[in-house]
Structure formats: structure tokens, C-alpha cells
Structure 1
Amino acid sequence: MKFIAFNAREDEQQYFEAWEKKNDIQVKTVKGALDSNTLDRTIGYDGVLALQTGVFPNKMFDKLNKNGVKVFSIRNVGVDNLDLEEAKSNGIKVTNVPAYSPNAIAEFSVTQLMQLLRNTTVFRRKVAEHDFRWAPFVGKELRSLTVGVIGTGRIGRAAINIYRGFGAKVIAYDVYPNSELEKEGMYVSSYDELFAQSDVITMHMPATPKDHHLINAETIAKMKKGVYIINTARGSLINTPDLIAALKNGQVAGAALDTYENESPLFNHDLREEELQDKVFSELLELDNVLVTPHVAFYTETAVKNMVFVALDSAKAVCETGTADTIVI
């Protein structure tokens, strides 16, 4: 049994090596992505581990099947960029890491919101310019706000607990409600109801075709004037040009975006010597009421270790037993 891992980062390497030593199973790590040029590197391996939010190669599972691969383990949660039917038809099991660290993402989302509420981006710029005046950038207290949480899985529930700790009123919407939260009467019945009541909207949901551009001009118009929007989920949930317009006219007071619809050419790349070609993204970066981070909400030591270990444990389990606790299909 042996595995190959693509997009293996330096911070993951110690965990790959530790798992390899503990299990006496070869794990080949590759820095580059899994694409049409690297697919042939999977020949002779029982399992493939991948971590990329962008597009995987066309007919990838057909090729992996021919190469003898039995299991495809992603080191993250979302499978929206995988053709699961193709994997199934080729007899390849797909696993994910459903909970590498819900607290990491929940904590980060709250941290970003707190910066927006206290205008730290603006004050950082003003201090750098030696302008030490306060007005007119008065802040807001979280305990006085209503936070609308979309998605109440592990991450959403962790965020709810943190917001409650601040004393905020929390409401939620999920197409698959949590029974305990349901008993507490936390849920509203629709997106529209959540939009109308929330001072803050934070998204902790998967991306589905139905929710593509959930945040757009029409839905933003249903929100309170001066709402804050937090997205640590998926970039495709937001129509960015519509959000930019609302940020400029004041309908949206601020946004914290850890993900962006067209992030693959940008995030986790050193582009300091290059001019950004994405004009929408460039316009977003110019706004003082926006915090953009390069998909790092998950990025803690605990999460990185769990992503590597759980993905490898899952691949091993599938090869040995034909199944795993983290099976997607």
C-alpha cells in the first residue's frame, strides 16, 4: 500500500512524515497541483490525496481508475469541485475531512467581524499616515447586534457559541436544522427572514448550485441597511460586483471575505511583482470597509495536522476494509 499527496505544503510535511513512520506506509508528497500534466504520477499508487479549491482535471476519475487508484482522499471538507458520479462509476471511493477544526474557522470569522465593527482597517491606515483623530469612525458593540448564522453544522455551531459568549442575539437558518438548536427556537423559516432581522450575516455552509450567488443585489436589498457580511465558506456564494456596489453605497457596512469566487489564480501565490489581472478583486482590495484574507480561516496547527492525519487514515481504511467513517461516496 502506498499513497501520493498533491499540493503538499511545507507546513504539512512534518505530519506526512510522522504518519508515514507510524503506519509504515509510503507517502509520496508533491508540491504541485493535481492536473492533466501530473495525473500520470498517480500510476502505481493505491490512494491519492488532494487539496485544491480550483478545477480538477477533466475525466480525472477515469484516468485514476486506469492507473489503479482505489481511493481519492481530499484534505478538506468541500467536494463541490469533484465529479462524484464519475468517481462512483469508476469504483473509486472518495473521502473528505469533515471536521479538521471547526473552532479555527469559527474563531477567525468572529475575529474578522470584530475588526470591522471597530474599524481597525481604517485606523491602521490613519495611524500610518500620522492622523490620530477618532471621528467619524465610531465602533459598534457585538452584544448589541443580531447575528444571522447560515449553516449550523460543526463550524456554524462553534460560531454560535462564540457569539453567545459576547452576548449577541443569534438566529440561524439551515435546510437541515440541528435538533438541539431547533428546540431552542433559534431558527428562522427562510433566508429572507434571516436577511431582514440580521445586523451581521455569517456564512458557514457548503456551496451548491441552488445557493450560487446567494448574496446578490436582490437579496442585499432585503437586508438591513448597514449590515455586515462574513464569508469563510465558499466564494461562489457571493456575487462580488453586487457586493462591491452595496459596500460603496452603504447598504452593506462592511465585509470580511476569506474566500473569493475566482480565488484559485490568486490565493496562496506570491504575486508581489505582478499586476493583478482580476479587476473585480482589485476593486475589492481598495475598499476600507473590506477585509480580504487568502482562505486561511482554517489555518492553524491543529487543523493542518488533522487534515493530513484524517485524510491518510481514511485512505488506509478504504484500502484495508473498503470503507471509512469519512466516505463521501
Structure 2
Amino acid sequence: MKFIAFNVRSDEEKYFKAWEKQNDVQVECVAAPLTTEKLDGLAGYDAVLTLQTGTYPEKMFEKFKEVGVKVLSIRNVGVDNIDLKAATENGILVTNVPAYSPNAIAEFSVTQLLQLLRNTTLFRRRVAAHDFRWAPFVGKELRSLTVGVLGTGRIGRAAINIYRGFGAKVIAYDLYPNPELKKEGIYVDSYAELFAQADVITLHMPATAADHHLIGAEAIAQMKDGVYLINTARGALVDTEALIAGIKNGKIAGAALDTYENESPIFNHDLKDQPLKDTVFKELLELDNVLITPHVAFYTETAVENMVTIALKSAQEAVTKGTTATLVNQ
């Protein structure tokens, strides 16, 4: 059995090598992304492993079928930018990693909120300028706030537990409520109801066509004045221009964004000394009450190991058994 993995970072390599040795499966690691030019070189490989972010070559699955690749194994959760219909039509199995470390993302989202509530970015800038005054940046205590959680899957539930530990009131909305949480009565009946009640809105849901720009001008207008927005989920959930307008007019007190709707050309690239071509993103960066991180909420040692090993195991099972628990196009 022979696999090839694309977009392999240096922090992933040791986990690939350890799994390869333990399972007697040849795994070739490539730092570059999968491109059209590389499709012709895939003959002889049983599975291709790559990351969800970015774009994929046109007619990729047709080429997989032609050269004998049986499985595409994604080292992430999201498969919203993968043509699953084309994969199925060409007999290619697609797998993902449904949960590599829910706590990593949940902890990060709360960390970012705490920074917003205590104005740490503003204080860092003042201290760097040798201005050690406090006012006017008085903070807020999390226990005094109502946190609205959109999406109560593994990550959302982990976040709920952390927020409760701080003493915050938690409400939630999910199209598919968790039975245990439903018994506790934390769910509201609509997005609008959550928007109207929450001091903090934190996103932990997948991106679908129906939820594109869920957080837009109309939704923001329904929110409480001075609301905080945390997005460690998917960039497409937020209309960035509407968000900027909400921040500038004071409707939104602060936002923490670990993902951005047009992030692929920016995140995980070294762009220092280069002008930013994305004027909307540049405007975000200039806002004092916006925290931007380059899609790193997941990025812990535990999560990286799980992403690699689960993706490899899924590919192995899919090749040998024709199915696996992480199959997404069955």
C-alpha cells in the first residue's frame, strides 16, 4: 500500500513517519499543495492525503479514477469545498477527521474573548509607547455576560463547558440540538432570539450554502449594542464588510477572527514587506478592537498528531475495507 500526502508541514512529519513505521505503509510527504501538474504523477498511489483549505484541481476525481487512486483523505473536518458528488461518481472515497481536538479550538475561542473583554491589545500598544494609564479601557467580567453559542457539536459543547466554568450564562442554537443540552433548556428557537439576548456570539458551526454570510447586516442589526463576536469556525459565515461597518458604528464592541472568508492567499503565507492586496482584510487589521489570527485555533500538539494519524488510519481502512467510520460521501 502506498500513500502520498500534500501540504505537509514540518510539525506533521514526525507523526507521518511514526505511523508509516508502525503500519508498514509507504507514505510520501510533499510540502507543496496538490495541483493540476501533480495529478499525472499519482499513478501507483492508493490514497492522497491533503488539507481542506485552499482549492483543488479541476476534474481531480476523474484523474484519480484514471490513475488508480482510491481515496482522498482530508486532515481536517470541513469538506465544504470538495465536490463530493464528483468523487462518488468516480468511485473515490473521501474521508475527513471529524474531531482532532475540540478542546483546542474551544479553549482558543475563549482565550480570544478574554483578551477582548480586558482590552489587552490596547494596553499592549499603550505600554509599548510608555503610556501606563488605565482609562478609558475598563474591562468586563465573563461571568456577568450571556454567551450565545451557535453550533453545539463537539467544539461547541467543549466551549459551553469552559464558559460555564467562568460562571457565564450560556444559550445556544443548533438545527440539530444535542439531547442532553436540550434537557438543560439552553436552546433558543431561532438565530434572531439568540442575537437579541447574547452579549457574546461565538461560532462553532460548519459553513453551508444556506449559512453563507449568516452574520451580515440584517443579523448584526438584531444584536445587542456592544456585542462581541468570536469566529473560530468558517470565514464564509461572516460578511466581513458588514462586520467592519458594525464595529465602526459601535454596534459591535469587538471581534476575534481566526478565519476569514478570503483567507487562502493570506493565512499561512509569509507576506512581510509585501503590500496587502485585499483591502477589506487590510481594513480589519487596522481596527483596534479586532483580533486576527491565521486559522490557528486548532494548532496544538495533540490536534496535529490526531489530524495526521486519524487521516492515515481512515485512508488505510477505506483502501482495505472499502469503508471507514470517517467516510463523508457514502
Q: TM-score if structure 2 supplies the norm length?
A: 0.99
- 1:242-270 residue CA offsets vs partner (Å, 9 max, x unmatched): 10011111100000000000000000000
2:277 corresponds in structure 1 to 277
Supply the AA of the counterpart residue of 1:273: D
2:106 alignment partner AA: A
Query: How high is the sequence identity, in percent, across the aligned residues?
Result: 73
For the pair 1:106 / 2:89, whether they are aligned, the reply is no
- The letter for the 2-side match of 1:40 is D
| C-alpha displacement of 1:322 | 0.7
CA distance in 1, matches of 2:161, 2:56: 36
CA distance in 2, matches of 1:41, 1:156: 40
2:28 paired with 1:28: yes
The alignment partner of 1:214 has SS state of coil
Q: How does 1:1-329 map to 2 (within 5 A)?
A: 1-329=1-329
CA contact (8 A) 2:52 2:78 kept: no
Deviates more, 1:87-96 or 1:50-59: 50-59
User: How far, CA to CA, are the matches of 2:174 and 2:140 in structure 1?
Assistant: 27
Give the number of aligned pairs: 329
Aligned-partner Cα distance in 2 for 1:115–1:42: 46
8 Å CA contact 2:196, 2:224 repeated in 1: yes
Q: Structure 1: state its 5+ residue gaps.
A: none
1:223-258 CA deviation, whole Å, 9 max, x = no partner?
A: 000000000000000010110011111100000000
CA distance in 1, matches of 2:60, 2:246: 40
In the alignment, is the contact (CA less than 8 A) between 2:5 and 2:29 conserved in 1?
yes
Alpha carbons 1:118, 1:139 under 8 Å: kept: yes
**In structure 1, C-alpha distance between the alignment counterparts of 2:41 and 2:102, rounded to whole Å:** 33
Structure 1: distance between partners of 2:328 and 2:242: 34
Instruction: Read off the aligned partner of 1:251 and give its amino acid letter.
Output: K
Q: Once the 2 structures are TM-superposed, how far is the Cα of residue 37 of structure 1 from its aligned partner?
A: 2.1
Distance 2:81 2:158 in 1: 25
Whole-Å Cα distance in 2 between the matches of residues 38 and 276 of structure 1?
A: 29
Preserved CA contact (<8 Å) 1:71 1:93: yes
Cα deviation 1:146-195 (Å, max 9, x = unaligned): 00000000000000000000000000000011000001111000000000
Contact 1:7/1:52 (8 A) holds in 2: no
Q: Deviation of residue 44 (structure 1)?
A: 1.2
- Give the drift of 1:57: 1.3
Q: Is the 8 A contact 1:227 1:254 kept in 2?
A: yes
Q: Distance in 2 between matches of 1:40 and 1:77?
A: 27
Listed one character per residue, the Cα deviations across residues 192-234 of structure 1 (whole Å, up to 9, x for unaligned) are 0000000000000000000000011111000000000000000
CA distance in 1, matches of 2:279, 2:52: 23
Q: For the residues of structure 1 that align with 2:281 and 2:194, how far apart are their CA atoms? A: 27
Name the SS of the counterpart of 1:37 in structure 2.
helix
Shift in Å at residue 52 of structure 1? 3.6
Find runs of 4+ consecutive structure 1 residues off by over 3 angstroms. none
Q: SS at 1:262's partner residue? A: coil
Q: CA deviation at 1:32?
A: 0.7
Return the letter of the residue paired with 1:22: Q
Q: Is the 8 A contact 1:106 1:159 kept in 2?
A: yes
Shift of 1:56: 1.1
SS at match of 1:27: strand
Q: What is the rounded CA distance, in whole Å, between the counterparts of 2:141 and 2:35 in structure 1?
A: 47
SS of the equivalent of 1:63 reads helix
2:253/2:289 contact within 8 Å kept: yes
Indicate conservation of the 8 Å contact 1:33/1:52, yes or no: no
Structure 1 position 40, deviation (Å)? 2.1
Deviations 1:124-149 (A, max 9, x none): 00100111110000000000000000
